[in-house]
Amino acid sequence: MANTRVICGVTVEDVVPRWMKDQGVSGGWLTAEYSMLPYSTTARKQRDIVKGRLDGRSTEIQRLIGRSLRSVLDLEKLGPRTMWIDCDVLQADGGTRTAAITGASLAVTIACQKLLEEKKITSSPMLKLIAAVSAGIVGGNPLIDLNYEEDKAASVDFNLVATQDGEFVEIQGSGEGATFTQAQLGEMLALGRSAIAQLIVAQRAVLARMAAVQPS
């Protein structure tokens, strides 16, 4: 994803949010936090804690990450636990939210495997791998995985999230002072699904390498 670098970590706590207890909701919960470190952008980005509040963009992105991962997680199988996903952008070159979702899919899968190994659960709550990619129209041409310069020049901006079997979880898109045709939309969706399939292959390769080095 160009020069974008995101660290995705998962922490599991043996508690659930109070609202689940109050409403008698069974199972567990998954939530996400997202932040861009000050040096991740060309011009230093002020920390949210200094501003005293989370900016609207970060709030939107962390909700997207949480929604995306909950769509492929069986919260009943997770049991009365909360999974926290922390996505920290070290370097931003476009597509930070899609990189965060793709990385979080791996992090949650690994966390579920650890719970299995520790015999805290009997089967993995992770139902499917999930990945995401950006798309857009630059110079009249549909593109995917836009870097910062392409994103700045895009007349249409999309973010696509889909599962390993090609089912879309979320599609975000709008014209940036321009319009787009149904044919262009179809091309962006097709390019996005193809790219996400490649990301799933890469995720599986990582998980296979990890499994190969696990002690027997």
Domain count, the chain: 1
Q: How far apart are CA 188 and CA 176, in angstroms?
A: 15
* Full domain range(s) for residue 128: 5-213
- pLDDT for residue 91: 94
- pLDDT for residue 38: 77
DSSP string of 158-200, one letter each residue: EEEEEETTS-EEEEEEEESSS---HHHHHHHHHHHHHHHHHHH
For residue 15, list its beta bridge partners: none
pLDDT tens track for 5-14: 999 999 999 9
- pLDDT for residue 174: 92
Q: How far apart are CA 150 and CA 187, in angstroms?
A: 17
Segments of the chain scoring below 50 in pLDDT: none
Place of tokens 């998962």: 10
- pLDDT for residue 215: 64
Q: Is the pTM of this model over 0.95?
A: no
- pLDDT for residue 40: 85
Q: How far apart are CA 29 and CA 37, in angstroms?
A: 26
CATH number at residue 17: 3.30.230.70
- pLDDT for residue 52: 66
What CA–CA distances, in Å, run from 211 to 10, 80, 115, 152, 203? 19, 27, 15, 40, 12
